[in-house]
Amino acid sequence: MPDIPVVILCGGMGTRLREASEKLPKPLVDIGGKPILWHIMKTYGHYGFRRFILCLGYKSDSIKNYFLNYRAQVADFTLHLTDDHTPTFHNAAGDEDWEVTFAETGLLTGTGARLARVREYLTEPRFMLTYGDGLSTVDLTAVLVDHERAGRIGTVTGVRPSSRYGELATVADTVTGFAEKPPSSGWVSGGYFVFEHEFVDGYLDDDPDLLLERRPLQRLAHAGQLTLHAHEGFWMGMDTYRDWTELNQLWDSGTAPWCVWKR
């Protein structure tokens, strides 16, 4: 797993999250003071993945600067302003066993086109892929095991997100039950993909508007080459201000289910 690259789609603008931040790209919107992108990378890191390829777009400079200054943001250091201003760090805070490649993939590029534009960095036979705006308790080792066992080109993690609306159970005009946030009845894509390298060459093209979720994955599914990894546990996408608030409340309460690493 340390050699398998993890592609994270980080080009989103987060237009529905403007209440949380109007100046940051969506992957840098924070949960508990850390960007959601950091939470995603910590999750992969917990399972032994260490090579990341970030597909950048909107405000890519902000994401680059965050990592270029990563250690200085969390570690103790002394700065002598009479010399070359090189900080002397006093602890290992901020050290991560990560190798991060920052790839400029365009401002308005489709998700499939972003993946196609990082093909030169996909040097291993297999790679993982996820979005830069979702958190989950998915067992990434189990995702990989299911992929290897099935022997297909791709694997997608299926989730059952909670409904935003209460669901009534009724008999005639009598309500017999009420569920505040029942899970959806069918599977939806939660991201957390695994692909064989042939997916890049055989199912993607250079169309800048190409969306991963449409033609490429539909073709893969029609060819019988897409495996489902069923995940019944926690999954939540950060699409709206309400989602951002709920994720922060979970973190602040100490009950964030996705926090599988040592906090």
Q: Are 17 and 26 in contact (CB under 8 A)?
A: yes
Give the total residue count for the chain.
263
Q: Where are the domains positioned within the chain?
A: 5-252
Supply 113's token pair: 């086109």
3-state secondary structure of 116: helix
Q: Are 205 and 114 in contact (CB under 8 A)?
A: no
- pLDDT, tens only, 40-85: 999 999 999 999 999 999 999 999 999 999 999 889 999 989 888 8
The C-alpha atoms of residue 136 and residue 258 are separated, in whole angstroms, by: 5
Work out the pLDDT band at 1, boundaries 50, 70, 90. Answer: confident
Bridge-based pairing of strands 235-237 and 134-136 is: antiparallel
pLDDT at 173 over 60: no
Q: How far is CA 93 from the centre of its chain?
A: 23
Q: What is the DSSP letter of 252?
A: H
Q: How many CB atoms lie within 10 A of CB 111?
A: 21
Residue 42 confidence (pLDDT): 96
Mean pLDDT score across all residues of the chain:
89
> Please, what's the largest Cα pairwise distance for the chain?
81
Mean pLDDT of 169-175: 59
Q: How many CB atoms lie within 10 A of CB 106?
A: 16
Phi, psi of 255, deg, nearest 5:
-115, 20
Q: Are 248 and 32 in contact (CB under 8 A)?
A: yes
CATH number of the structural domain 5-252 = 3.90.550.10
Indicate the pTM of the whole model. 0.90
Mean pLDDT of 123-150: 96
